[in-house]
Amino acid sequence: MLELKANSEDINTYSNFQEIVQKEVELDVSIDFDNKSMFGTVKTKYEIINQSLENIILDLHGPEISNVCLINEDYEKVDLDCIIYDKNKDKEALGTPLVINLLSLKEKDNKEYENVFNKKEIMISIEFKTNENCNGIQYLTKEQTRTKEYPFMFTQCEAILCRTLFPIQDTPSVKSIYKVKTSISPPLSFLFGGILKSHYYDSASKKKINCYEQNIPIPSYLVAFVAGELEYAKISKRCGVWTEKGLASLAAKEFIDAEKYIEIAENYLNHPYEWKVYNILVLPFSFPFGGMENPNLTFVTPALLAGDRSMSNVIGHEISHSWTGNLVTNKNWKNFWVNEGFTKFMERKLDKILLGEEMSKLESIVGNNSLISAIKMYGEDSYFTSLSPDFSGIDPDDGFSTVPYEKGYQFLCYLEERVGEDNFKEIMGKYIEKYKYKSVDWTDFKSVYEEYVNNKYEGRNARKILNVIDWNKWVTEKGFPSYKMEFKSKYTEEVDDLINKFINKDNIENAKKIFKEWHTNVKLVFLEKILKNLENFNESIILEIKKELNLVEEYNDDVKAIWYEITLEKGMKEEIENIMNFLKTHGRLKYLKPLYISWIKLDFNNAKTFFDENKIVYHPIARRIIQNKFDSMKK
C-alpha cells in the first residue's frame, strides 16, 4: 500500500524532488469570474535523477485535476494513471498530493515505458481547475473594488499555497523557469510575475492574450497572478506601478524612490539587478501583507499610499528581496529567516543611505519593539520564537510573525559588529554571487562568513572573531536573543520629552505641531512606548493625547492601528465604532492580529460577532489565522 511522508529536506512538501525535479513550467490559464475559478493546462519538464523512479509526487491542495499525460518526443499525449492521495494525516495543512504512476505505462505494455527511463528529461501535461476551496486565490466581487464595475482576482502563494493553484513541487528547494500565457476578456487585464514578451487580441475567442517569461529560476511561492480593471504608470526606465483604475498617478508619486532603492542595493551588494523590470502592484485592501516580493510584480497593500512616502521602507524591503530571497532563496521554511532577516538588514542599509543614519536606527528600535511584542504573544518557550522553528505537519503561515525578520536582522547586526561594516558588506556581496539562483540554509552563509574572516585576518585574529560566535545558539534558541543589541536614536529623547509633557500636563499646547512634524517612525515609537507602559497612563491622559494629536484623523494606517490597540488595551469601548470601521476596510495581518487579540481580551462575544459578519472581506490566509486566535482564546 502506498504511504506518503513529508520530504526530509522540506517537511512542508510531499514532492519527491530528490528523485525527479522540475526545471521548466509552462502555463496556459484563463479566469471564470462567475464560478470563481482559474483553469488551464500546466506542462512541466522534469529532470530524472533516480532512473528507478516509479511515481511523480506533486503537491496539491484543492484544484480539480483531469487529463494527466506524458508528452513524448513526437509531442503526442500518452495517458498516465494517477490518484489524489488523501490518506495523509496532515492534509488540512499540507494538502492531498497528486501521485502520478509511471509504472502504469509498463502495466499497459506501452512502448513509452522504456523510453521514459532511458531519458534524462520527461514532460508531463495536466489540466486543472481551481475552486472556492483553493486558498491561494482571492476573488473580489465588483462591489469590493474601487470602481465597483468589474470583479478582481489575485493570488498569494507564499508559503505553501501554490499547490492550491495547480499541481507542483511546492518547495523553495526547487527553482524553475516559467512560460505563461494568460487569456481574459477586455477591458480587464490578466498579469503574471514575469517579463511580458508579447500580447495580442484573439478575435476568435474575443480574449486579450498576454505571453510572459520568467527566465531566472524561481521557487513556486513566487508564482503570482492578478486579474482585474488595472492601469499602469511609469516611475523610471525600469520601474512602474499597476493599480486599480484611478490610483496609478498617486501610487507613482508615492513610490518615486523605487529606482533609488535599486541603485543603492546594486552598489551595496556589488551585484546588478538581474530581473530587468521592477513593477509594483497596489492591491485592494484585503491583501493580507504589507508587500510580497513576486519578481517583476511586487504586490503591496494600499495602506502604503499614505501621501507622504512615509511607508516607502516597505518598497525598499521588497526590492531588497530581489537579491535576498528571490535570487538566493531559503531552501525550506525552517530557514525562513535566511530570506527575511537578510532582507530586513538590507532594507535598513538602504534607508540609512536614503533617509539618514538616525532614521535607520529608529527603524531598528521600531523593529525591536515588534520583536518583543511577538515573543510575548507566542511565549518565550514557543518554537515560533526561534530562527529555526518546527513546522512539522502545520502550515508555515501559522508561525508568521516579525521574529524571522527582526531576530534575524539582529543576528546579522551582531555578525557585522564582529568584522566591521565594510568587511560585512564584502561578505554579503560574496554570498549573493556564490549562491545566486540557488536555495540555501543558514550554514551556507556561515561558510562564506568564516571563509572571508579566515582569509582576511591572520590565524589567531580570525579565531578571536569566530570563536565568540555561537551560530547554533542564535539560530536554534527560543525566546529573546541572548545577546542584546542596543539601538539608540536622537529621536527617542524627543519621544520621551513629549510623553512626559502629557503625563505631567506640562506645556502640551505645541504637542500637535511636534507630532505632526515627526516622521511616521517617530510617531510609532511614541505610541509603542505608551502601549508598553500603559500602567503609567490613566484614561484622562489617553483622551488628552487623542484630543491634542488628532489620532483618529491621522492619515497613516500604521499610526492608527497602534492607537486603536492602545484604546482596546485600556478598555475604552467608546473607540469601538472607529475600530470596527478600520477593521472593515483593512485586511493587513499586521493590523488585524493585534487588534483582534486586544478586542478578544476586552469583549470576546462582540469581537466574534463582528468577525463572523465581516470575515468574508478578508483574505483566506487572514481568515484562518484570526479564526485560530478566537479558537485558542475562547473563554
Catalytic residue list contains 318: yes
What's the CA gap between 300 and 290, in Å, rounded?
6
Q: What is the DSSP string of 207-272?
A: EEEEEEEEEEEE-GGG--EEEESEEEEE-SSSEEEEEETT-HHHHHHHTTTHHHHHHHHHHHHT--
Other C-beta atoms lying within 10 Å of the C-beta of residue 616: 10
Determine what percent of the chain falls in helix, strand and coil, rounding each to the nearest 5: 45, 20, 35
Nearest to 48 by CA among 83, 14, 22, 81: 22
Spatial CB neighbours of 358, under 8 Å, sequence gap ≥ 6: 489, 490, 491
Q: How far apart are CA 455 and CA 274, in angstroms?
A: 29
Of 75, 123, 70, 63, which is closest to residue 101 (Cα–Cα)? 70
Residue entry with cell 475567442: 205
Are 280 and 255 in contact by the 8 Å Cβ rule? The answer is: yes
Q: Is 346 left (phi over 0), alpha (psi -120 to 50) or beta?
A: alpha
Rg (CA), the chain: 25
Q: How many CB atoms lie within 10 A of CB 91?
A: 14
- CA distances in angstroms from 342 to 338, 348, 461, listed in the order given: 6, 10, 26
Name the nearest CA neighbour of 65 among 43, 39, 86: 39
> How far apart, in Å, do the first and last CA atoms of the chain sit?
44
The residue type of 538 is: N
Helix (H) or strand (E) holding 393: none
How does 435-472 read in b/e, with b if 16+ C-beta sit within 10 Å? bbeebbbbebbbebbbebbeeebeeeebeebbeebebe
- Do residues 232 and 241 touch, judged by C-beta distance below 8 A? yes
Q: In what order do the strands lie in the sheet with 55-58?
A: 55-58, 98-101, 81-84
Q: Which of 405, 491, 564, 618 is catalytic?
A: 405
Cα(488)–Cα(143) distance, integer angstroms: 47
Rounded to whole angstroms, the Cα distance separating 179 from 480 reads 44
Strands 207-218, 64-71: pairing is: unpaired
- Residue 65: strand pairing partners: 128
Tell me the C-alpha distance between 123 and 223, whole Å: 20
Which residues share a beta bridge with 440? 330
Cβ partners under 8 Å of residue 534, min gap 6: 566, 569, 570
Here the cell at position 618 is 478578508
Give the whole-angstrom CA distance, residue 487 versus residue 249.
37
- Is the alpha carbon torsion for 464, 466, 467, 470 positive or negative? positive
Which residues, in sequence order, are bridge partners of residue 292?
Answer: 299
Q: Which three cell numbers stand for residue 286?
A: 484585503
**Which residues are bridge partners to 86 per DSSP?**
none
User: Which residues are identified as catalytic?
Assistant: 318, 405
